[in-house]
């Protein structure tokens, strides 16, 4: 057994000439959350399906909870759970029956399965709804039941494929807390998402994939740094000062600042000292500013910078 909950080397998978995975490596220490980011069709779902033994990779190896996904799929399936956009619970059955059925399929006796189902229903606030058909559930309740269903067998590794799609912000927070709780119980989590905010708040590490390749990985902070430096934001009190401020920014950084509004200017800086020079120059020329700040790019900006850069390099693997 390794220290990794999940580990993969050089995974590739092609569908009818389209390369869905093109040599993916990853490693997640036990109990950590990896956020997998990427545009639609980047290969996120394919990667999850390979790791969850639903797809066989064309080449490469992957270990889940220490077991090889192609050679020991049975062992892997005993230790994983899959939840999200492509899995679902049975709409026609009630919530409790769904959980009991999964418990029984995991070889619990009917009594143990029922006890486990009740435990999970209460943990996810579904005790009342347990005897109602899932078809009558709201989107949030369904997601919670889906997550509960994946936890019946105490999995060591959980795959969450876009878990919060379609949830309103309040429900999303609630789901995030449940995911954090899982992680603090020692469960390794691989989570795909298109919400950068989600990866930023939940993940210990983030991996960005595009065209089946890993184009960046690291902690959210590292990723932001990797895309480049900081941005200086200036907000002038009087729009008439905007041109003078712009001239200062250009003089210091050699770049033309972007103007978001008549008051706001922003320019990327490569040297930390630039910020202080800008501040000093603004003061010397008596430009009144209501805001002057230095910030890291948002994960959004990092993501777009990374995927745009990847799109510019040719990908000969795609026919």
Residues lying near other proteins in the complex (CB under 8 A): 15, 49, 52-56, 74, 77-82, 85-93, 97, 101-102, 104-109, 112, 133, 149-150, 153-154, 156, 185-187
Nearest residue (CB) to other proteins, 185 versus 291: 185
> Would you state the structure tokens that stand for residue 49, as one six-digit string?
């399906």
Q: Write the CB contacts of 308 (distance below 8 Å, at least 6 apart in sequence).
A: none
Q: Is 39 helix (H, G, I), strand (E, B) or coil?
A: coil
- Of the chain, the end-to-end C-alpha distance in Å amounts to 39
Nearest residue (CB) to other proteins, 189 versus 310: 189
In whole angstroms, how close is the CB of 90 to other proteins at the nearest point?
A: 6
Nearest residue (CB) to other proteins, 94 versus 210: 94
- Are 158 and 32 a contacting pair, CB within 8 Å? no
In whole angstroms, how close is the CB of 99 to other proteins at the nearest point?
A: 12
In whole angstroms, how close is the CB of 101 to other proteins at the nearest point?
A: 6
Nearest residue (CB) to other proteins, 155 versus 257: 155
In whole angstroms, how close is the CB of 298 to other proteins at the nearest point?
A: 32
Nearest residue (CB) to other proteins, 106 versus 296: 106
In whole angstroms, how close is the CB of 30 to other proteins at the nearest point?
A: 10
In whole angstroms, how close is the CB of 89 to other proteins at the nearest point?
A: 7
Nearest residue (CB) to other proteins, 52 versus 121: 52
Long-range Cβ contact pairs of 166-172 (< 8 A, separation 24 or more)? 166/139, 167/139, 167/140, 167/143, 168/140, 171/139, 171/140, 171/143, 172/198
Rg of the chain (C-alpha set): 24
- State the maximum Cα–Cα separation within the chain, in Å, rounded to a whole number: 79
For CA atoms 199, 202, 207, 209, the dihedral sign is negative
Count of other CB atoms within 10 angstroms of residue 294? 16
Nearest residue (CB) to other proteins, 167 versus 216: 167
In whole angstroms, how close is the CB of 32 to other proteins at the nearest point?
A: 14
CA distances (Å), origin 286, targets 81, 247, 250, 264, 266:
61, 13, 17, 17, 19
CA nearest neighbour of 159 among 62, 4, 50: 50
In whole angstroms, how close is the CB of 37 to other proteins at the nearest point?
A: 22
Count of other CB atoms within 10 angstroms of residue 128? 10
Nearest residue (CB) to other proteins, 26 versus 187: 187
Q: Write the CB contacts of 319 (distance below 8 Å, at least 6 apart in sequence).
A: 17, 18
């Amino acid at each position: 057994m390794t220290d990794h909950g999940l580990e993969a080397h050089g995974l590739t998978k092609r569908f009818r000439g389209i390369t869905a995975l093109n040599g993916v490596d990853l490693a997640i220490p036990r109990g950590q959350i990896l956020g997998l980011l990427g545009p639609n069709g980047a290969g996120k779902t394919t990667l999850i399906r390979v790791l969850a033994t639903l797809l066989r990779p064309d080449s490469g190896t992957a270990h889940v909870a220490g077991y090889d996904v192609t050679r020991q799929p049975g062992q892997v399936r005993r230790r994983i759970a899959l939840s999200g956009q492509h899995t679902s619970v049975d709409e026609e059955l009630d919530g409790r029956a769904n959980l009991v059925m999964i418990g029984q399929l995991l070889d619990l006796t009917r009594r143990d399965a029922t006890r486990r189902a009740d435990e999970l229903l209460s943990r996810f606030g579904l005790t009342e709804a347990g005897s109602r058909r899932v078809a009558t559930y709201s989107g949030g309740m369904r997601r919670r039941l889906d997550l509960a269903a994946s936890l019946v067998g105490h999995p060591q590794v959980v795959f969450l494929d876009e878990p919060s799609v379609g949830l309103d912000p309040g429900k999303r927070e609630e789901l995030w807390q449940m995911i954090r709780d899982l992680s603090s119980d020692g469960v390794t989590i691989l989570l795909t998402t298109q919400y950068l905010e989600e990866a930023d708040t939940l993940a210990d590490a983030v991996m960005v994939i595009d065209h089946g390749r890993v184009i960046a990985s690291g902690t959210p902070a590292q990723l932001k740094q990797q895309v480049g430096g900081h941005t200086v934001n200036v907000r002038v009190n009087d729009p008439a000062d905007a041109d003078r401020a712009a001239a200062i920014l250009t003089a210091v950084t050699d770049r033309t600042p972007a103007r978001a509004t008549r008051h706001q200017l922003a320019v990327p800086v490569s040297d930390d000292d630039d910020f202080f020079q800008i501040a000093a120059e603004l003061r010397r020329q008596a430009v009144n500013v209501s805001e002057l700040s230095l910030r890291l790019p948002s994960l959004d900006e990092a993501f777009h910078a990374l995927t745009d850069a990847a799109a510019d390099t040719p990908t000969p693997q795609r026919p």
